[in-house]
Structure 1
Amino acid sequence: EELTTNNEELIINNEELTTSNEELIINNEELTTSNEELIINNEELRINNELENAVIEIGKIRNQFPLKPLLIVGNKADKLTEAQKHAIAAGIPEMLFLSAKEGTGVEELKDRLLSFVNTGALRNNETIVTNTRHYDSLLKALEEIQKVNHGLQMNLSSDLMAIDIREALYHFGEITGQVTNDELLGNIFANFCIGK
C-alpha cells in the first residue's frame, strides 16, 4: 500500500514536473519575445536619435546658407523598412531616398539637380573659390585694387596708381591663365600628376 501511495505521489510529482517544464518553456518563449521586442525598441530608439541629430544638422545648414537650395539624399534605402522610411520622411519631408545598389531614386536625383540649374537656384552673387591658388591671387588683386582706391581718395598721380592696376591685372591673369611664371609651373608639377 505504501508502494502504491509512493507511486501515486511519484506520478503526481511527474505531472507537476511536466507542468513546471511546460511553464519553463512558456517563460523562455516569453523571455525570447521580450528580448526581441527590446532589440526592436533599441533599434527604433537609435534611428530616432539619429533622425533628431540629422534634423538639427540640416537646420544648421539651412541657417548658414538660407538662399542656397538644399537637397537631402539618403542612400542605401534598400536597407530600410517602409516604416523606417515613413518615420524619416515625417522628420525630413524633403528627403530623397535612393539605392545606388538597386538603382532606385537615381533618376529623381538627376531631375532634382537639373531643376536647380534650370530654375537658376544655383545662381546668385555668392561665389565660392575652391582653388587655393586662385584664392591667393584674388586676395592679392583685391589688395592692389584697395591701393588704387586709396590713391584716388588721396589724389595721387595716375602714373603711381597705374602700377597698382597692372599688379591687380597680373594677379587676375594668374587665374585666367594669361600669366605663366616659373612659380605657377612649379605649382602645377607639384600638385598634379602629369604622365608620359
Structure 2
Amino acid sequence: MTTNLYQLEPIAALATAPGIGAIAVVRVSGEGAIEVTNRLFRGKDLTHQASHTAHFGTLRNDDGSIIDEVLVTVFQSPKSFTKEDVTEISCHGSEFIIQQILRRLMQEGVRLAQPGEFTQRAFLNGQFDLVQAEAVADLIASDSDASHRAALNQLRGGFSRQLKALRQQLIDFVALVELELDFGEEDVEFAHRDKLRQLMLDIRRVLHPLIDSFSTGNAIKNGVPTVIVGKPNAGKSTLLNALLNEEKAIVSDIPGTTRDVIEDELFIDGIRFRLIDTAGLRQATDQIEAIGIERTQQKMRDAALVVYLFDAKNVESGELQTAVDEVRASGKPYLLVGNKLDAITDATRELLETMLGEPVVWISAAKQTHLEELKSALSARVRTDAAVQTGSAVVTNARHYNHLTGTDNALARAVTGLDSGVTPDWLAMDLRVALQHLGELTGEITTDDLLESIFSKFCIGK
C-alpha cells in the first residue's frame, strides 16, 4: 500500500496477557504485515479487504494442516495504532497454538517484537508524542480510578500539546536572539525583549501547576504512603485490621507488640492508599524495639500522609500536645485520629479538640465505628480525586517532572538575566537549555538511549 510513512520490518507479539484463556490476540505490524498474514490464512484474501474489518478463517502450517480457527482484523496504514499495516489474529488461548502462530510468522520473515516496540513505532510515526506514549504504559498499569483518569488524560494530550505550542514560540524568539549574535558589533535587537519576557512568564505560569502536581500525581500512580503512628497500645494494629477487614497485624494488650513495619493496600474513592502500621513511639525497652521505632521514624519521613492515632481514654494532655506538635513540625500532611470514642464523654472530646486547636476524627477501632468517616477524611486530605475528575493535568512521571523543573529553572535564569541586561549570548544559552528540556519532554528531541530506556519498560506486545 502506498503511504508516506516509513514502514519498518514486520514484527509480531502476543498482545494479550500470557496464560491459558478463551482467546488470545497476536499482533503483527510493519511493511507487508497484511501480506504475510494472508499467506498463512485460509479465507478471504486479506490484501483486498477494507481497513478495520474482521475475517473468519483458518491459519495453516506450511504443510497445509490447520493450526487454529481464527478471526483476523485488518488495519491499513496509516489508520492503525502504529500507523503501519497491522493485523490482529484472534485465536484460542492455548500456549501451544500461540507459539505455533508465532513460529509460522517467523518462517515468513516476521521477527518477534521487543518490549514496547509497537508503541515506539507509533511514536516514531507521529501517532502521539513521548508523553502520550508513556501514558500507554501507565494506562495498562493503572489499578485505581484516579490513576486510570490521570493516564487517560495524558494519553489524550494532557499538557504536552500546550507545551509544544509554547516551545515553538520560544524557538522563534531564540532564532532572533541568535541572529543578533551575527550582528554583535552593530548593537541591533531583533527579539523584542518585552514580548520575550512575557512569553517566558507565560510558560512558567503553565509549568508551575504541573510541577506542583507531581506529589499528587506520584501518589496517584504509586499509591499514597500512609503511615499510622502513635504510642504503644493506641490501637494502630487494630485500626489497620479494621480498615483492611482482616487480621493483618497481631493485636495484644502488651505494649510494643508491633516491632516491625506492616504494610497493605486499601482503595478509597478510587485512590490507592498504602497503609503502614508501625511500632509505637516511646522510649525503647530493648534493641529490637529500638530498631522498630527507628523504622517508624523513617517511614514518617518517607510518608505522603501521617495518621496520628491516640487513645482518647488513656491520654495525658501535655504528652499528646507534644506528640502532635512533632507531627506538625514534620511538615507532612496529617490526620489526628482519636480512638476509643465509645469510652469517653462528649465533654472530653470537645476539651481535647479545643486543646489541639483543630478537628479530630473520632473512631472506635475495636468496635469498627466511624471508619467510613475516617476513610472520607483520608480521601479529602489527599485531594487527588478532584484534580483528576475535573480533567486537570497531573504529572505522574518523574522524567516529566525533572524536565519541567529544568525548563522552569532555565527560564528563571533567563528572566533574571534579561532584567539585568545580560548579553544576547548569555540569554540564548539559558533559552537553549529550556528548549532542550521541553524537547526531550515531548520527544521532539530524542536519543536512542532515551527511547530504549523508556520503551524497554513496556510489556512485550504493546
Larger RCO (CA under 8 A, 6+ residues apart): 2
Q: Whose radius of gyration is greater, 1 or 2?
A: 1
TM bucket, shorter chain: 0.3 to 0.5
Judging by fraction of residues, say which structure has more helix.
1
Judging by fraction of residues, say which structure has more strand.
2
TM-score scaled by length of structure 1? 0.41
